[in-house]
Chain A
Amino acid sequence: MLHIQNLHASIDGKGILKGINLNVKPGEVHAIMGPNGSGKSTLASVIAGKDEFEVTKGEMLFENEDIQELDPEERAHKGIFLSFQYPVEIPGVSVTNFIKTAINETRKSKGLGDMPANEMLKMIKEKAEMLEIDRKFLSRSLNEGFSGGEKKRNEIFQLAMLEPKLAILDETDSGLDIDALRIVASGVNKLKSKDNAVIVITHYQRLLDYIVPDFVHVLHDGKIVKSGDKNLAKELEAKGYDWIKDEATV
């Protein structure tokens, strides 16, 4: 589904990703871990198409198609979704209007008409209930004044509404309380199928207890320096990153 080879990316001439290799197949869950500043969010942004970052080298295919020249919205239309580490506040646009616009623009790109209003309402109700989101919340301005946890839950609500093929969750667990973490994780699990894939960026094993990864990768200084199965995450939790950094520099 996603094939990344020797990917280099920089911002203002400063190299941040320094040769990433990553293969994600349908049905898989990949976890990406790594110290602060190692490039995890950058990788997520580059996959989603943020044009601040310049891809200087390497290959990035989504469903066998080169996506490097595509705008973020075109990537979204193909089924890539990024749940932001820091969701942006958009005053003046309600959650509902925003999600309606996002869904209908995605449909438009596929030559479909607007989703009928009653169908939309039903879907909104369903997904909001699944994530235990209060209806009142949906008429508020997007992310404006939301608590950290509310923002994250709202990201997953949008994920649930848009039903992407590839979901990248950038530290969705940070800011969530224990109950919210369980609700959000079970929401993600419900959306999982053999046809879609998830990349989970996290610092903690806690989330991976719920969303169990098939692969765990450690990013350090713009490179994946170690990959393994779910036990690698447990080892990291116990030992920290130093031993991997040492291994990497040897």
Chain B
Amino acid sequence: MELKDKLLASFMAFESSVDIDSNVHDLRVEAIKKFEDDGFPTKKLEAWKYTSLYSVLKHDYSVFPKGEPRLEYADIKQYFIHDIDSYKIVFVDGKYSSYLSQTTHDGIDVCLMSAALNKPKYRMVIDKYFNKAARNEGLSALNTAFSQEGAYIHIPKNKVVEKPIQILHFATGTETGLMLQPRNLIIVDENSHLEIIERHQSLTDNPVLTNCVTEIFTNKRAIIDYYKVQNDKQTASLIDNTYINQKQESVASVHTFSFGGKLTRNNLNFYQNGQRINSNLKGVTIIGEKQHVDHNTLVHHIEPNCESHQDYKSIIGDSAIGVFNGKIVVEKEAQKTNAFQANNNLLVSDKATMNTKPQLEIFADDVKCSHGCTIGQLDESAMFYLQSRGIPKKEARALLMYAFSNDILSSVKIPEVKQRITKLIAQKLNVNLGFDL
């Protein structure tokens, strides 16, 4: 059976496991209809021109994992940033693991989507925020239809959460193929500050497909720093849909580090609903073999005096394919917008491909928008310079690639995250340069 039919067929079974008399369920029903109409996106859609899901969808995925896998912390420790004090929300095959998690009741809500969707005390918040930022289309609709589990984080106003929250989704080997659809909702109220580190990690060699939706709401003057560490196995694919709804004077920053995975598609959407908002989108992509990473970004400037900064760098080797599709919309009312976009790419093999496409739709007249993209090779004269000082070719290449991605790391605020990313880059480039950036 095709995956689409399988999903449609299993919706009824899914309904028997959730409360169907809720507002949320009305949304699910609406969403499954939408998915039935839309289906999976194909290359015919402009936004999917360079990314085909065909090779990912052809596997037979179990959409409701049955097993009760038991993981020990020691087995998965390496996937955490473990040298910092943090809260941890851990899911294994889509189910919450209280054994591996470390949450808090210290004045902030760090809990489960399933609880938030079902318990009356959360109803008002859910009605106000759930599915209000996500778009009801294609893969996001599919996720909404099956939304049940994920992280639910609500930071009340005037609270600086001093420890970062790590959200980890593990997939294990008990199924032949596994499809996961986590659903996260994060609300940061006035003047509050939150840091999140997120990772999807497969522990099996069987195919895993994750279709994740994360909705983030930053209220007045709130700050969120979100780090996505994508270093999954080459049998795992990820479609990551993130929707960020910002209110006035809030600052939201998302760093996406894409090193692993077979196919990764990042749909990252910012909506600026207020003045003096700042949105930051940063990314480092280093891929090889036959990996495919597609960054599809949207920044929607709706009100005046806001800023957005996008800076994505990629290093593409072997026969890997990179895509950057960055859309900036500046509405007529959004005067004095300052929107910056840069996408710089290094192709380090003859067979590597990069598709980059900025899309600017500007309806206001008093704005500053700049965008630039480059696709280049390693600079020969720089290589000769380094080699002539005794630095071997391989290390010289790595050093230049390091240097190339360096400025993106400078905006990472958690030193341990920066260190880990530096290490992952070194690993990915297969070198050991005896220093940190």
Query: Are A and B physically bound partners?
Result: yes
A72, B384: Cβ atoms closer than 8 Å: yes
Q: Enumerate B373-426 residues with CB–CB distance to A below 8 Å.
A: 379-382, 384-393, 395-396, 399-400, 402-407
Q: Assess whether B84 is interfacial by the CB under 8 Å rule.
A: no
Q: Enumerate B212-228 residues with CB–CB distance to A below 8 Å.
A: none
Q: Assess whether A26 is interfacial by the CB under 8 Å rule.
A: no
Q: Enumerate A47-92 residues with CB–CB distance to B below 8 Å.
A: 48-50, 52, 71-73, 75-77, 81-82, 84, 87-88, 90-92
Q: Assess whether A147 is interfacial by the CB under 8 Å rule.
A: no
Q: How many residue pairs bridge A and B at CB < 8 Å?
A: 87
Q: Assess whether A231 is interfacial by the CB under 8 Å rule.
A: no
A87, B385: Cβ atoms closer than 8 Å: yes
What are the residues of chain A within 8 A of B379 when measuring CB–CB? 88
Q: In angstroms, how far is the closest chain A Cβ from the Cβ of B40?
A: 40
What are the residues of chain A within 8 A of B99 when measuring CB–CB? none
Which of A12-20, A94-102, A127-135, A204-212 makes up part of the contact surface?
A: A94-102
Q: Assess whether A193 is interfacial by the CB under 8 Å rule.
A: no
Which of B139-147, B231-239, B429-437 makes up part of the contact surface?
A: B429-437
A49, B388: Cβ atoms closer than 8 Å: yes
In the assembled complex, the Cα of A123 lies from the Cα of B396 at a distance in Å of: 23
B393, A73: Cβ atoms closer than 8 Å: yes
A109, B390: Cβ atoms closer than 8 Å: yes
A93, B403: Cβ atoms closer than 8 Å: yes
Q: Assess whether A244 is interfacial by the CB under 8 Å rule.
A: no
B385, A77: Cβ atoms closer than 8 Å: no
Number of interface residues of A (CB under 8 A): 34
Q: Assess whether A114 is interfacial by the CB under 8 Å rule.
A: yes
A90, B390: Cβ atoms closer than 8 Å: no
B437, A92: Cβ atoms closer than 8 Å: yes
A73, B435: Cβ atoms closer than 8 Å: no
A106, B402: Cβ atoms closer than 8 Å: no
In the assembled complex, the Cα of A93 lies from the Cα of B433 at a distance in Å of: 12
B403, A102: Cβ atoms closer than 8 Å: no
Looking at the complex, which one of B380, B381, B407, B435 makes contact with A92 (CB distance below 8 Å)? B407
Contacts known (A92-B404, A92-B437, A97-B435); A105 close to B384, Cβ less than 8 A? no
A76, B390: Cβ atoms closer than 8 Å: yes
Q: Enumerate B7-47 residues with CB–CB distance to A below 8 Å.
A: none
Q: Assess whether A162 is interfacial by the CB under 8 Å rule.
A: yes
Contacts known (A50-B384, A52-B380, A92-B406); A102 close to B400, Cβ less than 8 A? no
Q: Assess whether A41 is interfacial by the CB under 8 Å rule.
A: no
* Of B387, B388, B395, B400, most A-chain CB atoms within 10 Å: B388
* Of A76, A93, A141, most B-chain CB atoms within 10 Å: A93
Q: Is the interface of A mostly helix, strand, loop or mixed?
A: helix
User: Which residue of B is nearest A45, CB measured?
Assistant: B384
A77, B390: Cβ atoms closer than 8 Å: yes
Q: Assess whether A202 is interfacial by the CB under 8 Å rule.
A: no
What are the residues of chain A within 8 A of B393 when measuring CB–CB? 71, 73
In the assembled complex, the Cα of A141 lies from the Cα of B400 at a distance in Å of: 12
B385, A101: Cβ atoms closer than 8 Å: no
What are the residues of chain B within 8 A of A109 when measuring CB–CB? 390
A72, B434: Cβ atoms closer than 8 Å: no
A101, B402: Cβ atoms closer than 8 Å: no
What are the residues of chain B within 8 A of A101 when measuring CB–CB? 391, 395, 399, 433-435
A102, B402: Cβ atoms closer than 8 Å: no
Looking at the complex, which one of B381, B390, B392, B399 makes contact with A93 (CB distance below 8 Å)? B399
What are the residues of chain B within 8 A of A162 when measuring CB–CB? 389-390
Q: Assess whether A196 is interfacial by the CB under 8 Å rule.
A: no
Q: In angstroms, how far is the closest chain B Cβ from the Cβ of A25?
A: 23
A71, B389: Cβ atoms closer than 8 Å: no
Q: Assess whether A172 is interfacial by the CB under 8 Å rule.
A: no
Q: Assess whether A104 is interfacial by the CB under 8 Å rule.
A: yes
Q: In angstroms, how far is the closest chain A Cβ from the Cβ of B381?
A: 5
What are the residues of chain B within 8 A of A100 when measuring CB–CB? 434-435
In the assembled complex, the Cα of A48 lies from the Cα of B407 at a distance in Å of: 31
* Of A49, A72, A87, most B-chain CB atoms within 10 Å: A72
Q: In angstroms, how far is the closest chain B Cβ from the Cβ of A44?
A: 10
B403, A71: Cβ atoms closer than 8 Å: no
In the assembled complex, the Cα of A90 lies from the Cα of B385 at a distance in Å of: 9
What are the residues of chain B within 8 A of A71 when measuring CB–CB? 387, 392-393
Q: In angstroms, how far is the closest chain A Cβ from the Cβ of B333?
A: 38
B406, A88: Cβ atoms closer than 8 Å: no
Q: Enumerate B53-79 residues with CB–CB distance to A below 8 Å.
A: none
User: Which residue of B is nearest A97, CB measured?
Assistant: B435
User: Which residue of A is nearest B394, CB measured?
Assistant: A73
What are the residues of chain B within 8 A of A91 when measuring CB–CB? 403, 406-407
B402, A93: Cβ atoms closer than 8 Å: yes
What are the residues of chain B within 8 A of A50 when measuring CB–CB? 384, 388
A88, B381: Cβ atoms closer than 8 Å: yes
Q: In angstroms, how far is the closest chain B Cβ from the Cβ of A176?
A: 20
User: Which residue of B is nearest A161, CB measured?
Assistant: B389
Q: In angstroms, how far is the closest chain B Cβ from the Cβ of A69?
A: 15
In the assembled complex, the Cα of A116 lies from the Cα of B399 at a distance in Å of: 21
Q: In angstroms, how far is the closest chain A Cβ from the Cβ of B126?
A: 45
Q: In angstroms, how far is the closest chain A Cβ from the Cβ of B336?
A: 31
Q: 3 nearest interchain CB pairs?
A: A92-B403, A92-B406, A76-B390
Besides A90-B382, A91-B406, 13 other A-B contacts (C-beta < 8 A): A71-B393, A72-B387, A73-B393, A75-B388, A90-B385, A90-B399, A92-B407, A93-B402, A100-B434, A101-B391, A102-B391, A103-B390, A105-B395
Interface residue ranges, A against B (CB under 8 Å): 45, 48-50, 52, 71-73, 75-77, 81-82, 84, 87-88, 90-93, 97-98, 100-106, 109, 114, 141, 158, 162
Residue pairs across A and B with Cβ atoms less than 8 A apart, 16 shown, are A73-B387, A73-B390, A73-B393, A73-B396, A82-B388, A87-B385, A88-B381, A90-B385, A90-B386, A90-B400, A93-B402, A100-B434, A101-B434, A102-B390, A105-B391, A109-B390
